[in-house]
Structure 1
């Protein structure tokens, strides 16, 4: 990259790199983005409402009833930078000096323990038949684990004492009612996750190396690479067929 100014990398772009270095490189270097997905607007609505609800107890300096129900020894944390930490385009920030990468990410919430340790909190919303009381062993939930760990690393980078244990506030939509009636009910669980951020700095070193290198090889497990390869092959075959038919 050869630049003196810090190069900004969001938490989600780190996740993109973990999933496929080639797709990450194409966007970072050539501005070629993967096909986008529709936004999860229901999830965003749940997120906004949860923030507003926990903010009510933050203002009162009290525990939320769920924190009592799920035996979480913490309260919503009041801090002058909380709104910045939550904002998608500013978030919690930390400059990784060895790579000159400025990492940032918007956290959903931060709680605080009686020992003044900060607790990273991530809101999730879904609609499954089974009760959600822990993360599954899946690639999707592995990304949730990394998300939590990056936020913990970022807050430590800003100089805060951060607990290894974060919490997921998981709202699960109930689809077994007798009708919609303009309302969806949720069953919300809170469960802990003990993070380990040791993977982050080695990953940032690799990101720096990839950014300064030629295009990486395809990731055999990347569906976007597989689609691009298949479409390219079909296009080449179609062009050959068209040329031979003249």
Structure 2
């Protein structure tokens, strides 16, 4: 693997440094891997892209956009008694775009925080509701509060989006929603299609942690040494185990 030379944090630079929502989450998971990536240019090995998830995201955006143009709630919103309609804004396409997204310059750190949202709804009081699309295939009931790491990451993702929109001057509700599509495997045949069950799951976000996380991430980047490996990080565990065998 080559060392990356682009998108490296330079402590002496006065140019705003772009830090995505996912990189903030990376910092929270493991400061060592975050530092290696953003400060030293050592990427984590990436797995295959979730192309099926991307396909469902694209189709959901198209479907909800139909109701955005009509100024009416999607039938699923009515079914789950969500008193809102899809939000209309000239920057919606930009906010959804990877590498752009909703942006806010955090002046104390000079970090340009970004996050690409899936959707936004608006309630009758004019408060924005962050919406994220999720895809899965399970026969179990979806429990967003079961403590699994990726579901906790889903919550942080939503809360950073709430923070970003609030910093851009919008009134933002603490309540956000996941539109979950669950592939149904209880079918007689594939028949060239997947059948999905759709549901809405709500979450009352707490974005009070975001500011501190940004400040702490910046402090990490300004450091001159690599932070210690995290005991809970699989990447660090693999790296440490491999080095111990190589050096033995």
TM-score after normalising by structure 1? 0.94
What is the Cα deviation at residue 138 of structure 1?
A: 1.5
Matches within 5 A, 1:139-154: 139-154=149-164
1:160 aligns with 2:170: yes
Q: Which has the higher helix share?
A: 1
Partner of residue 241, structure 1: none
In the alignment of these two chains, the number of paired residues is: 237
3-state SS in 1 of match to 2:81? coil
Partner of residue 227, structure 1: 238
1:208 aligns with 2:221: no
Partner of residue 119, structure 1: 129
Greater shift after overlay, 127-136 or 3-12? Answer: 127-136
Identify which of 15, 22, 26 aligns with 2:32. Answer: 22
3-state SS in 2 of match to 1:30? coil
3-state SS in 1 of match to 2:227? coil
- Do the aligned residues in 2 keep the contact of 1:133 with 1:191 (CA within 8 Å)? no
Q: After superposition, what is the alpha-carbon deviation per residue over 1:166-210, rounded to whole angstroms, capped at 9, x for unaligned?
A: 000000111111111111111111011010111111111111111
Identify which of 41, 51, 60 aligns with 2:61. Answer: 51
C-alpha distance 88-135 of structure 1, shift in aligned 2 (>3 A): farther
C-alpha distance 182-151 of structure 1, shift in aligned 2 (>3 A): same
3-state SS in 1 of match to 2:213? helix
Larger radius of gyration: 1
3-state SS in 2 of match to 1:179? coil
- Do the aligned residues in 2 keep the contact of 1:132 with 1:189 (CA within 8 Å)? no
Inter-partner Cα distance in structure 2 for 1:159 and 1:4: 25
Q: After superposition, what is the alpha-carbon deviation per residue over 1:129-165, rounded to whole angstroms, capped at 9, x for unaligned?
A: 1232644322110000000000000001111111000
Partner of residue 228, structure 2: 217
Q: CA RMSD in A?
A: 0.9
Inter-partner Cα distance in structure 1 for 2:145 and 2:135: 13
- Do the aligned residues in 1 keep the contact of 2:144 with 2:151 (CA within 8 Å)? no
Inter-partner Cα distance in structure 2 for 1:197 and 1:133: 21
Inter-partner Cα distance in structure 1 for 2:19 and 2:144: 29
1:108 aligns with 2:118: yes
Inter-partner Cα distance in structure 2 for 1:19 and 1:133: 22
- Give structure 2 stretches of 5+ with no counterpart: 1-10
Q: After superposition, what is the alpha-carbon deviation per residue over 1:78-126, rounded to whole angstroms, capped at 9, x for unaligned?
A: 1001011101111000111111111001000000101111110000000
Inter-partner Cα distance in structure 2 for 1:63 and 1:5: 42
Moved >6 Å (runs of 4+)? none
- Give structure 1 stretches of 5+ with no counterpart: 238-246
TM-score after normalising by structure 2? 0.94
Partner of residue 71, structure 1: 81
